[in-house]
Structure 1
Amino acid sequence: MAKESADRITIDLFAEEKRRGRPKTNPLPRQAQLKVNKRNQIKRDRQKGLKRVELKVDSDLFETLNELAKAQSVSRSELIETILKAGVERLDTANSERN
């Protein structure tokens, strides 16, 4: 069998050729894939009843949150959610004691 230079299916004939990266498995360009993936993630979050909240924090606080999350083996968002829940419960308790 002759070696066809355009043939990329016959792997054994091209064993010495190194091809970079993973084979292309998705016909969409990377930017379009990212948009589709983000849209699907938002749909999954909505089905779970999750809402998105964004906030900006000082870099020192950001590093502290990262360290605490790593120490507790949770994600930063899980840690922030736990802190917020505890704070809301504390405020709710304080408000109910006043009334």
Structure 2
Amino acid sequence: MAKQDADRTTLDLFADERRPGRPKTNPLPRQAQLKLNKRNQLRRDRERGLRRIELKVDQALLSKLNLLAAERQLSRAELIQALLLQQLEQQDFD
């Protein structure tokens, strides 16, 4: 059987052929890259004075938050922070 350049169904014939693509730019495996990036993100947040809190809400509230954040062109975290600050300011005046 002759090797056809357009025939990609017989992969063993093309095993040694280098395919064009994005070159590998990081020596670490993907999981290690993600772990390092997350660690760096947490360090940057800490330096900016940010602290992490977790909040569980139902799907309906999450959808409303997403819509409102999109309307105001904010991230969901920025929107929640603004709403919390607004509520706390109202409590101080009552």
TM-score normalised to structure 2 length: 0.76
Q: Distance in 2 between matches of 1:18 and 1:28?
A: 22
Q: Distance in 2 between matches of 1:92 and 1:35?
A: 41
**How much does 1:18 deviate?**
4.1
Aligned residues: 77
1:90 matched residue in structure 2: 90
Q: Paired residue for 2:20? A: 19
In structure 1, how many angstroms separate the alpha carbons of the residues matched to 2:24 and 2:52?
32
The SS at the match of 1:39 is: helix
Structure 2: 5+ residue stretches without partners:
1-17
TM-score by length of 1: 0.73
Residue-by-residue CA offset, 1:22-62 (whole Å, 9 max, x unaligned) = 22100001110001000000110011000001100010000
For structure 1, the residue ranges without an aligned partner over 5 or more in a row are 1-16, 95-99
CA RMSD after TM alignment = 1.2
Q: Deviations over 1:77-97 (max 9, x none)?
A: 100000000011111222xxx
Q: Equivalent pairs: percent with the same residue?
A: 56
> Which whole-Å CA distance do the structure 2 matches of 1:29 and 1:37 have between them?
12
